[in-house]
Amino acid sequence: MLKKVLLGLCALPLLAQASIQAPTGARVALAYNEPGQAGSQGVHADAFMIPASTQKVLTALAASLYLGKEWRFKTRLLAPTGALAQAKQTGVLQGDLVLEFNGAPDLTRQALVNLLAYLKQQGISQIQGDLLLDTGNYAGYDRGNGWSWNDLSICFTAPASAVIVDRNCVYAQLEANQIGETAQPKVPAGQPIQVTSDAKVVALKEYYAGCELRVDMNTGNNYHLTGCIPPQQQGKPWPLSFAIQDPTAWGESLSAWALARAGLSLTGQVKAVRHAPANLEEIAHLPSAPLYKLMDRMLKKSDNLYADAIARALGHLYLNRPASYATGAEAVRLILKNKAGIDLGSALLADGSGLSAHNLITANQMLQVLDYMALHDDELGIIGLLPVAGMSGTLGSRGSVQRAPLLKNVTAKTGTLQNVSNLAGFLTTASGKRKAFVLMVNGLTFPPKVRQALKAHRISSPHYPFERAVLEQIYKEQPVQITD
């Protein structure tokens, strides 16, 4: 079926253009306009599509509208009222010390040391009680509905829980020397995880033919590797990264480590609680980077952890309920409606990152978000945080936009999941106009040999010529014709 999309003033003469063939079997949705312009042009612009990481644009706008650029997460240190003043005289804090985690995505173990060291600076060396890790502001699962189960061991799906330390991710290595041998894991000292391996070293051809490395996750933060990997290249170990499976145990281990590094002794235990004791006072807190810096990473690097941490925080703060993926998604929807007049209608939001395959939104709905961002860019400043073609973030090396006239002229959020490849952002046209556009391609698949070549990074995605052709037509302000 041939869909004709006309760009520009209707009084202009239409130029004959060859139709752009959509990728075989894929579903395509396209919408674009000049921000502030009534209506939009598009193809299947009201069809519900999986947005993937373009959904981070919604999270960014909602967070900017409600929290403001300078808002920060706070990790707080609390003690019984009056206990600090007394402890300064004796060197001993009487009662439980409480460390309140609130999902700051940039919190590091060294920052925990620095926070706890505040007590040492006050002349305190011992805590006569427990160190309680308060996670009561969070509820529900630490991963979103619809996340792919076999991605859960990988750091791009690290849980956006109350406790986030060092991105809830551990890096390790596999030594793979000889074909036929068992690959041996190497975990850096001080990492409270266990990794075992039965993975075999196989020839490169066998690996790219479908033999993969698999991670089995058991109780706690224990990982067992099976399957296969190719031999080491130039003597370099095979890099690994593991998403933490038990954030509570991770937080307990690292808090105990930080306590010792800060020079504090503890008579009790380090343990997580859902309800902190009453009559506490804040004695110190550690702020995260401001929201605009967190969003810069979220958008340029397509950081899922940052996006879901921000969305869950919105759920807690806007709805005054415990932070969860459901409250986060509801808060994003309500903020966009109440503060920007954007009604998402039947769109389905399951998380803040776009990792969930349950998310559904139309190109026109996404375009409304971009339109608002453009019209309020002076106060919001979100557009400047998006990747730029050939220059930054996930568009820095995207094959479809590496040459003129798209190079440097496309500023957009990418969205990639299995069989999904999307773009949502802005394009500066040949006449200097800024066009907001949303291009979604779902159901994208290729023959087995092509998939193998993509896995081996021997080729770029075969759908890039289609993507480039559509964007070039918008750049030239000429009619877009798509055959699907």
Task: Specify whether 455 is catalytic.
Answer: no
Distances (CA, A) of 483 to 22, 25, 219, 284, 470: 6, 11, 50, 61, 12
Task: Specify whether 271 is catalytic.
Answer: no
Q: Which of 56, 200, 300, 413 does the annotation list as catalytic?
A: 56
Task: Specify whether 53 is catalytic.
Answer: yes
Q: Which of 40, 53, 197, 356 does the annotation list as catalytic?
A: 53
Q: Which of 40, 153, 288, 302 does the annotation list as catalytic?
A: 302
- Residues noted as catalytic: 53, 56, 302
